[in-house]
Structure 1
Amino acid sequence: MNSDLVSPRVPSRHRWAIVAILCAVAFVLYIDRINISVSAPHIATEFGLSSQSLGNVLSAFLFGYALGLIPGGWLADRFGAHKVLTLAGIFWAVLTAVVGCIPREHLREAHHAVTLLFLVRFLLGLAEACAYPTFARALANWMRRGERAMASGLIHMGSNLGGVFTPVFIAFIISRLGWRHSFVLSGLITFAVAFWWWQMGTDEPSQNQRVSQEELRIITSEREEPHIERVDLGWYKQLARSREAYILCISCFFMGLSGFVFLTWFYTYLVQVRGTGDLYSAALTSLTYVAGAVGALFGGILCDASVRKWGSPWGRRIVPLVSMTVSGLLCIMAPAIRNNTASAVLFALAAGLQVVPAPAFWATIIDITRRGPAIVGGFMNGSGNLGAALGTIGFPWLVSRMDWQLALQLAGSTGIVSGLVWLLIDSSRQIDVFQPGTATSVSESTTLETTS
């Protein structure tokens, strides 16, 4: 709808349509990310992969993701969310489909298959790495400060709904058509969503004809500064001195160490160690993402509410501090429970609590910098995925030295560290360098009206 046709008294709400599309992007992001965890036993059987070789393949995505987050964030801040996310989505679609097209006939040795699978998954991780930094860039441009955590929570809910959908969907496709078709279909879905974003999105609200002048005034009314400058050398020097940036990365690293099992080894654990069937294991794996979807939604609500009530730093600090600490404790308890369903439910609660603080992580980044949220988000998310990659590749070694129960408990307990370091994070400390008189402090901006 053209902005001229919108009544001044009824402002458009297209910013929430943008959030809905970003939720869909996050949904397919997780389809492409975790489909291999369900296909892994079938791929290992077809190509004759050992557990360690399979671990190497599963970790490839995470290493590529960790490596690509910082340049992906720079690309988003430099060229805008619209172009970067569209091109990235096309790459996700192609690389996902390629996995299903890897020929068995020409790969006589298992290590050849490992190399090719590792390469394709590494490239997929590299391409997907820009996603969340780009989401941060888009939310910084499109959302009011009082709406950012909620919007971020909805996006994380979308990714977790993708996690709910994927195990059952992939298991069903494999049972009917084989594992190769599951990757091709995943790629087609991803391409459709990337095209939707290209059609509906823009970098700035002012560039979108669907945004009324009234909505544009609402969006800009809570911006911390009237004009956002691009990052320069001075900004990078400020970043290098930012304690908050370092501690966010440390917290996210330990979160990755605590949560990698849910992304990579959980389905295999249920099938091979606990002896549950393929489809029931897929359903139990989906349960962790159901909890994650709920956790993301409530995390966004709780984070925005706590900021309105307590301001900075405790408003941003309290949600991750509590949720990550409790998640780590549940990860210690869950493997010791003998009943498969009860254990999986406790694991799901732990997984959901790990998603609750995600909106706080990303909202805090936008609080401390509007000039380079995607870059800082790249550093932070890269740290988390580095932790997840190291955990994934080292987990088979850990199991061989201990057993599955102790290995899972040791990995999960690192979530406690992730939560406790939030005691040191102060979201009111700014990275950005402003001209005198142009900045609004975070603590002051928390008193602004947050409803439209």
Structure 2
Amino acid sequence: MEDVSAVSSAGERTRSRVRYFVLFMLFVVTTLNYADRATLSITSSSMQKELGLDPVQLGYLFSAFAWAYVAGQIPGGWLLDRFGTKTVYAWSIALWSFFTLLQGVVGALPVAVLAGAFFLCRLMVGFAEAPSFPGNSRLVAAWFPTAERGTAAAIFNSSQYFATVLFAPLMAYLTHAHGWRSVYFVMGGLGLVLAAVWLVVIHDPKSHPRISRAELEHIERGGGLVSLEQKAVAKAPLQRGALKQLLANRMMMGIYVGQYCITTLTYFFLTWFPVYLVQERGMSILKAGFVASLPAVAGFIGGVLGGVISDGLVRRGHSLTFARKTPIVIGMLMSTSMVVCNYVDSQWLVVAIMSLSFFGKGVGALGWAVMSDTAPKQVAGLSGGVFNTFGNLAGITTPIVIGYLVKESGSFAAALVFVGANALLAIVCYLLVVGEIRRLELKQA
């Protein structure tokens, strides 16, 4: 093994746990990432009354983030491969936080132009957030051995649920007590502080000042790509034909389409779920903000549990294919339970069913672990970008489709069927299309 000059000499014989701190930072950053996406779902009822928006217009406003987020995925993945995760991610956090804060500023504009300016800000938030999840995938691939990767990816991915648990009540309170614009000032300010912290504490495995040689060897022996970031710093050119090979591979396409279906569930909970509680179930905005956190708690528990189960199966000798697919299939089956809400009236029963559905969604949300297992080493960022492009197309289609369904039917019944059907389609992708889960080797041009 080559000399690692940055490894702490005091810890040569003792395995440090620096990778867990890196995972903690991923969890914190991704929590804020999802909270900033969800700001509109909490403030939308107040904005809808003030601006006179109908469900379809609100659906398009919800989708603004995803249009730019999807457009930025492949460029964002290329930037990560080209310039390294630390620098690109720091710029990403700072920019999305700035445009989150700016949404509060444009809230002071006249009503006639406010909606358009707000739409543009949401677009820019989406574009700035584009490198975040491919960056998460790169850091997990670099910092964690294969047998720990499922849990690590599940933990950072479960932050989407924790974001609702932590921030939905806060944002509901701010909207109720200080108006919807205050939400954007507070959330944007938090992100700008976090961007500065990220630059100070994040490093790649081979240059981290506190990692021991024992931990570095443990990561590398277990399949961690410890030199991944150093290759990025070397500015390796984008391999020609890499994108074409990714899209032509059956396994990768099955994973990509499956992620679209799973992310449809995510965007229902991120966008229309609080509106569903207010308009379909008669809750106040303040109550809906707190109630929305209950399914999110279940989703968080399910998200962590799915990764733990998957890695446990790997350690017990099961194939990576079986270990990743089993929680995905079981979790998606549980997610279809949300359709039962169409047949019950009790608020507490609706919340219980949605909690079960969100728990299942968490268990099955192992797409980023699968991506860390399968992405070609040379283009890990690009592959993550393509994966997230497919997944977040659901951020465009889901809010708009649900907006039309609600407007035409006057209820959310068809919307819940639409979301549940996507969970079933995700199962089909993983069982019938993906096949064996393994790292894709690119053919040289």
TM-score (norm 1): 0.89
Residues 1:313 and 2:321 aligned together: yes
Distance, in Å, in 1 between the alignment partners of 2:202 and 2:302 is 27
- Indicate which of 270, 287, 296 corresponds to 1:263: 270
Distance, in Å, in 2 between the alignment partners of 1:20 and 1:336 is 41
Q: Deviations over 1:286-333 (max 9, x none)?
A: 1121112111110110111223332132222111122112212x0211
The alignment's C-alpha RMSD in Å is 2.1
Distance, in Å, in 2 between the alignment partners of 1:236 and 1:60 is 26
Q: How does 1:302-381 map to 2 (within 5 A)?
A: 302-308=309-315, 309-328=317-336, 330-358=337-365, 360-369=366-375, 370-381=377-388
Q: What SS is found at the alignment partner of 1:10? A: coil
Residue of structure 2 equivalent to 1:286: 293
- Indicate which of 253, 259, 270 corresponds to 2:260: 253
- Indicate which of 63, 66, 70 corresponds to 2:67: 63
Q: How does 1:105-254 map to 2 (within 5 A)?
A: 106-109=109-112, 112-202=113-203, 204-223=204-223, 230=236, 231-254=238-261
Q: Deviations over 1:263-308 (max 9, x none)?
A: 1111111112211122221122111211121111101101112233
Whether the aligned pair in 2 keeps the contact of 1:260 and 1:389 (CA below 8 Å) is no
Q: How does 1:367-406 map to 2 (within 5 A)?
A: 367-369=373-375, 370-402=377-409, 403-406=411-414
Q: Deviations over 1:77-102 (max 9, x none)?
A: 22111001101000111011011111
For residue 381 of structure 1, report the CA deviation from its aligned partner: 1.9
Distance, in Å, in 2 between the alignment partners of 1:225 and 1:158 is 24
Which residues of structure 1 form unaligned runs of 5+? 436-452
Task: Look up the equivalent residue of 1:175 and give its one-letter code.
Answer: H
Distance, in Å, in 2 between the alignment partners of 1:388 and 1:128 is 13
Task: Look up the equivalent residue of 1:6 and give its one-letter code.
Answer: A
Distance, in Å, in 2 between the alignment partners of 1:54 and 1:15 is 41
Structure 1 stretches (4+) deviating beyond 4 angstroms? 224-231
For residue 61 of structure 1, report the CA deviation from its aligned partner: 0.9
Using a 3 Å threshold, how does the CA distance of structure 1 residues 225 and 33 change in structure 2: closer, same or farther? closer
Using a 3 Å threshold, how does the CA distance of structure 1 residues 74 and 26 change in structure 2: closer, same or farther? same
Distance, in Å, in 2 between the alignment partners of 1:371 and 1:361 is 20
Whether the aligned pair in 1 keeps the contact of 2:18 and 2:211 (CA below 8 Å) is yes
Residue of structure 2 equivalent to 1:418: 426
Which residues of structure 2 form unaligned runs of 5+? 1-5
For residue 35 of structure 1, report the CA deviation from its aligned partner: 1.4
For residue 234 of structure 1, report the CA deviation from its aligned partner: 5.0
For residue 412 of structure 1, report the CA deviation from its aligned partner: 2.2
For residue 377 of structure 1, report the CA deviation from its aligned partner: 2.0
For residue 44 of structure 1, report the CA deviation from its aligned partner: 1.9
Using a 3 Å threshold, how does the CA distance of structure 1 residues 52 and 428 change in structure 2: closer, same or farther? closer
Distance, in Å, in 1 between the alignment partners of 2:92 and 2:10 is 33
